[in-house]
Amino acid sequence: MNALPLEGNTSLAISIVNYVTITSQDIVLSDASSDNRFVNDPYIQKKRPKSILCAPIVHKGKSAGVIYLENNSLSNAFIPARLEILRILAAQAAISIENTRLISHRENAAKLQTEMKIAANIQTVLLPENPSISGFDISAYMKPADEVGGDYYDVINTPVKEWVIIGDVSGHGVPAGLIMMMVQTAIQTVVRNDPGVTPSRLLHKVDRSIKHNIIQMKEDKYMSITALSFEKEGTILFSGLHQNLLIYRAQKEAVEVVESAGIWLSPWDMGEVHSDKSLSLDKDDALLLYTDGVTEAKKGGSEMFSEERLIDILKGSRGASAQEIRDRVLASLSFFQVHDDITMIILKKQ
């Protein structure tokens, strides 16, 4: 049987069905056209049916539907004995309907789970497989809070210069993951077509290209991001509003905190920023980039992992490789509860 919407249906008395749905009470009419409660129903006025029985289908106190029966030939067609039989049938129908809904829910949940895994696999494929930057030891780590995350990092090598990008879409889950993939595609497109572009100009172009899609999603999401270009002469240019850049200076055995500057990627107009900051690294210096999922991890409900703890770990990294620095952060982080996507990139000058 095909499912037909109740609203606008002209084959039954809708007012009676609605009454039973709302009250969960049986309705038994011996002559429907003479019952004052439903005499104004358009169907009853037009068809003037005789006997009508309408009973709720209830399972564990929850309504699963109604049974509607009509006899246009006889008055008093539905006697109490028949109503009792219908109640028994309705109870069995309620169980069948509920079981069908549960099966459908499980099938839909399994389908959604499969689709989420596909989306997560796509994100994993988009990550750089063996990231490398000339003259640097590099290690990276990313773990989404959900199957699909909003953190993003990339390492791009071109004949002109090399790039490291890190970003974090507000929130996490599918909408954040979609924006992350849009940004990744836009950045790859701009850098491949214009490898000499500056970081600030890159972010301006990407912001302009994805702004319409973010507005269409009606999610009010934004992406904090920093783009770093490694120039041939050894200078590192960077732009974008994100977390502070942490630099371990090997000669001083101290950590320098460098503030990010530039724009977010967002549906809002932040203006054009065409200025780039620069930094340089000496031998054995290490640069740590991260998302706030690391620093905002919590222990005991209130104690945060914090940037200060990252700085302390980095201060003690003399002689450590990029991989060892990463592992030390993760070991310390294991005592905290992580509620957001986490991403780290460590670059150590060789």
Q: Are residues 302 and 227 in the same domain?
A: yes
What are 52's strand-pairing partners?
29, 70
Q: Which domain holds residue 78?
A: 14-109
Burial class (CB in 10 A: 0-12, 13-18, 19+), 283: exposed
For the beta carbon of residue 83, count every other beta carbon within 10 angstroms: 14
| CATH number for position 331 | 3.60.40.10
Do the domain assignments include residue 115? no
Do the domain assignments include residue 231? yes
| CATH number for position 35 | 3.30.450.40
Per-residue pLDDT of the chain (350 residues; tens, 9 = 90+): 678 888 888 889 999 999 998 888 888 888 888 888 898 999 999 988 889 998 888 877 777 788 899 998 888 888 777 777 777 777 777 777 777 777 777 777 666 566 556 555 665 666 788 899 999 999 999 888 766 677 889 999 999 999 999 999 887 777 788 888 889 989 999 999 998 999 999 999 999 888 888 888 877 888 999 999 999 888 999 999 999 999 999 999 999 999 998 888 988 876 666 689 999 999 999 999 999 999 999 998 789 999 999 999 999 989 999 999 999 999 999 999 988 888 999 999 99
Work out how many domains the chain is built from and give that number: 2
Give 310-323 as a 3 state SS string.
HHHHHHCCCCCCHH
> So what's the pLDDT on residue 259?
95
158 to 136, 161, 228, 229, 270: CA distances (angstroms): 16, 5, 13, 11, 29
Q: Are residues 133 and 53 in the same domain?
A: no
Do the domain assignments include residue 120? no
Q: Are residues 319 and 181 in the same domain?
A: yes
Q: Are residues 304 and 159 in the same domain?
A: yes
Do the domain assignments include residue 63? yes
Q: Are residues 81 and 202 in the same domain?
A: no
> Could you tell me the pTM of the whole model?
0.67
Q: Are residues 228 and 105 in the same domain?
A: no
Q: Are residues 103 and 143 in the same domain?
A: no
For the beta carbon of residue 305, count every other beta carbon within 10 angstroms: 23
Do the domain assignments include residue 116? no
Burial class (CB in 10 A: 0-12, 13-18, 19+), 214: buried
Q: Are residues 85 and 168 in the same domain?
A: no
Q: Are residues 72 and 145 in the same domain?
A: no
Do the domain assignments include residue 2? no
Contact 317, 286 (CB under 8 A): yes
